[in-house]
Structure 1
Amino acid sequence: MAGLLSRERIVAPPGYNRWLVPPAALAIHLCIGQVYAFSVFNLPMTRLLGITQSTPDDWKLTDIGWIFSIAIAFLGLSAAIFGRWVEEGGPRRSMLAAACCFAGGFFVGAYGISIHSLWLVYLGYGALGGIGLGLGYISPVSTLMKWFPDRPGMATGLAIMGFGGGAMIGSPLAVWLMRYFASPTDVGVAQTFVVMGILYFALMLFGVVTIRVPATDWKPEGWTPPVKATAMITKAHVHADTAIRTPQFWLLWGVLCLNVTAGIGVLGQASAMSQEMFPGVITASAAAGFVGLLSLFNMAGRFFWSSASDYLGRKTTYAIYFLLGIVLYALVPWTGHTGNIVLFVCCYAVILSMYGGGFSTIPAYLKDMFGTMHVGAIHGRLLTAWSVAGILGPVLVNYIRDYQLASGVAKADAYTFTMYIMAGLLAVGFVCNLLVRPVASHHHHDDQAPLDDEGRPLNPSNVAFGRS
């Protein structure tokens, strides 16, 4: 089994069509992207005992919101911890591990729901499923950048757009399954978890079987690497352990964290928020459609914006995310006050396109800053920013909402203050991006210095390693 999963077994033969690789990446990301549709479970899970309405013993919405946050937290942590393991062993091994963990999270979560144990759901879908998210997220990214060195932004968009589109499948599928399994004594969530776990595991296995890596020193036919580096794109390489000691890493960590915090808080509560801001107008089914629409823009933005960054530059692209996002978040409360559903949807469609674009642009941004030698491992460590944002964003939305409601604010107005906070976070992110400069040459890895099996220099004196 170890041999079948090794990197050596999946090296593509000469003449292999590199366009056969993106479907394998999409198979993984379309599955794990279901996490973005988790909000469709939130309201049904507050009625597991009451069925038609919540009872005192049912779970509160704020408690259920932690399931999503825990899953995102473990996504970032597992990506950081196992980033080097993913690069060293190849994508097939890590993609299989991702499939087992993600599907296993559904099964454990289903059992927790059936016995009404929220902690077991935290452990299952949150922790175990979150590990599957992290492994699945980073597994194909560096592989695709190696297949498309001529268009790294487009390559990461190809991989990561599937993650944004996962809710487009997961949201209506979950709603349909819950209706199918619903009865006078059951809302059908546990059974839905089991079926989705089986379906996603099968689709992820397709990616495991079909993934391939390029041979050493492979490059696209007719493509010549640029002779000189540009101001914001280096030809040098930085070791993963060195990268985390540079100011560029932490500025980009802040850029990703703040962009994600602003988007993920509203995305995690998109279904409930749309129904509460437009009561009696947006139904549960319409809200599920809204979540699916956001997923579509999330997915499209990941490809559009990251591809555009190949021409605009990563720094300019992120500046657009932040400046335009500030304006749109500030507009959202006004759309609710005026009852303008069309403008509300349009604002969030663009916001979610840039939110998704931020994820797909960041690997190419890292490649520009630190080179390709350890870009997968560096990307994994940077995703701890997503872990923090995955907790901070939903907490801001959920608990400020509860505070507003306890203060007598109407449900339709409970998100106003939160939107202004999100706009402020984007302003801070804009400053972080503005401060990004090329990595100093003394952090570059000496290409002549040999590395051991763990990627560390055999003779540290040959490597300018972290000098200040």
Structure 2
Amino acid sequence: MASTNSNKGRAVVLSAACVTMFFISSIALYSVVSKNLLAVYPEWSSALTWAFPVFQTIMAVTGIFAGRISDKIGPRNVVIAAAVCYGLGWFMSGTVTEPWQFYLWFSLVAAIGNGLGYNPALTTGQKWFIDKKGLASGITLAASTAGPAVLSPVLASLLIPSLGIFGALKALGVIFFVTIAASALFLKAPEAGWLPEGFEAPKGGAHAGTFGDLTPGEMVKTPRFWV
């Protein structure tokens, strides 16, 4: 596919990225989770104050390194690791009996999974659509916003009433692992030098931006980074 500059198969990669983004963006379900969790353990109200901010911090820090790791070992391997961490984190959150356990499984393990999966999925789709980066980004980000919109009512109206909050968390863990791991099997970065059929790379390289291809160190020296 890469050697012939064929566009064949790149829609499959983008679709797989969308599936990953759809399910891994389900962190927005936390509002539903916390409400029902505190209904069982109301005394945890103050203890869980930092659960979501800690999740976001761990996710962001992990995401910084996820892209570089993906470039070295491939997005498929990184997203499979994300599926394991994310699915395990949600599943084990359904077994907690103490606040610190929730921080361990949700705010740490699930957050690492989220950080590992988000950037590789998004950027892999973009790499196959360097001729239509805006479109590819828009589609994958739309999938990430559609995920919580679809899954929130499923969690609140179906899973929790049927399984209880802890059973619902376990079910989500299984769902997230299966769907993200399955989508990861179709994620693959294009080979070096690959270009879409009929596309001519602009001066500075196909993936170069306004400032050209930059290393992280070079990036922080540009005014746009600080803005």
Asked if TM exceeds 0.5, the reply is: yes
Aligned 8 A contact 2:66 2:119 in 1: no
Using the alignment, how far apart are the partners of 1:157 and 1:211 within structure 2?
Answer: 18
1:108 to 92, 104, 115: 92
State yes or no: 1:38 paired with 2:30.
Answer: yes
- Matched with 1:128 is 109
Aligned 8 A contact 2:124 2:187 in 1: no
- For each residue in 1:186-240, what CA deviation from the matched residue of structure 2 results, as whole angstroms up to 9, or x when unmatched? xx211111011001111112211111222222212222234599xxx52621112
Give the CA deviation at 1:248. 2.3
- Matched with 1:172 is 153
Using the alignment, how far apart are the partners of 2:204 and 2:188 within structure 1?
Answer: 30
Using the alignment, how far apart are the partners of 2:66 and 2:121 within structure 1?
Answer: 14
Equivalent residue runs for 1:358-437 within 5 Å: none
Where do 5+ consecutive residues of structure 1 fail to align? 1-10, 182-187, 252-468
Aligned 8 A contact 1:37 1:167 in 2: yes
| Matched AA of 2:36 | P
Aligned 8 A contact 2:83 2:113 in 1: yes
Task: Name the CA shift for 1:165/1:158 in 2 (closer, same or farther; >3 Å).
Answer: same
Using the alignment, how far apart are the partners of 1:199 and 1:35 within structure 2?
Answer: 14
Using the alignment, how far apart are the partners of 1:65 and 1:158 within structure 2?
Answer: 33
Higher relative contact order (CA 8 A, sep 6+): 2
Classify the secondary structure of the residue corresponding to 1:122.
helix
Equivalent residue runs for 1:58-97 within 5 Å: 58-60=43-45, 63-97=47-81
1:142 to 120, 123, 126: 123
Aligned 8 A contact 1:99 1:132 in 2: yes
| Matched AA of 2:184 | V
Classify the secondary structure of the residue corresponding to 2:192.
coil
Task: Name the CA shift for 1:149/1:106 in 2 (closer, same or farther; >3 Å).
Answer: same
| Matched AA of 1:71 | F
Using the alignment, how far apart are the partners of 1:47 and 1:191 within structure 2?
Answer: 15
1:237 to 197, 213, 217: 213
1:202 to 153, 164, 178: 178
| Matched AA of 1:18 | R
Task: Name the CA shift for 1:12/1:220 in 2 (closer, same or farther; >3 Å).
Answer: closer
Task: Name the CA shift for 1:210/1:228 in 2 (closer, same or farther; >3 Å).
Answer: closer
- Matched with 2:9 is 17
How many residues align? The count is 222
Using the alignment, how far apart are the partners of 1:139 and 1:237 within structure 2?
Answer: 18
Runs of 4+ in 1 over 6 A off after TM superposition: none
Using the alignment, how far apart are the partners of 2:128 and 2:47 within structure 1?
Answer: 43
Using the alignment, how far apart are the partners of 1:128 and 1:41 within structure 2?
Answer: 16
Using the alignment, how far apart are the partners of 2:14 and 2:145 within structure 1?
Answer: 15
- For each residue in 1:242-268, what CA deviation from the matched residue of structure 2 results, as whole angstroms up to 9, or x when unmatched? 2134332222xxxxxxxxxxxxxxxxx
Task: Name the CA shift for 1:13/1:104 in 2 (closer, same or farther; >3 Å).
Answer: farther
Aligned 8 A contact 2:128 2:189 in 1: yes
Classify the secondary structure of the residue corresponding to 1:38.
helix
- For each residue in 1:259-303, what CA deviation from the matched residue of structure 2 results, as whole angstroms up to 9, or x when unmatched? xxxxxxxxxxxxxxxxxxxxxxxxxxxxxxxxxxxxxxxxxxxxx
Task: Name the CA shift for 1:235/1:44 in 2 (closer, same or farther; >3 Å).
Answer: closer
Using the alignment, how far apart are the partners of 1:81 and 1:95 within structure 2?
Answer: 13
Where do 5+ consecutive residues of structure 2 fail to align? none
Task: Name the CA shift for 1:13/1:227 in 2 (closer, same or farther; >3 Å).
Answer: closer
Using the alignment, how far apart are the partners of 2:77 and 2:94 within structure 1?
Answer: 26
Aligned 8 A contact 1:27 1:204 in 2: yes
Give the CA deviation at 1:12. 5.5
| Matched AA of 1:102 | Y
- For each residue in 1:104-136, what CA deviation from the matched residue of structure 2 results, as whole angstroms up to 9, or x when unmatched? 111221221xx2x11111111111111111111
Aligned 8 A contact 2:82 2:114 in 1: yes
| Matched AA of 1:47 | A
- Matched with 2:201 is 225
Query: Which structure has the larger Rg?
Result: 1
Using the alignment, how far apart are the partners of 1:82 and 1:146 within structure 2?
Answer: 16
Give the CA deviation at 1:174. 1.4
Using the alignment, how far apart are the partners of 1:81 and 1:75 within structure 2?
Answer: 10
Task: Name the CA shift for 1:139/1:68 in 2 (closer, same or farther; >3 Å).
Answer: same
| Matched AA of 1:159 | T
Task: Name the CA shift for 1:239/1:167 in 2 (closer, same or farther; >3 Å).
Answer: same
Using the alignment, how far apart are the partners of 1:78 and 1:227 within structure 2?
Answer: 32
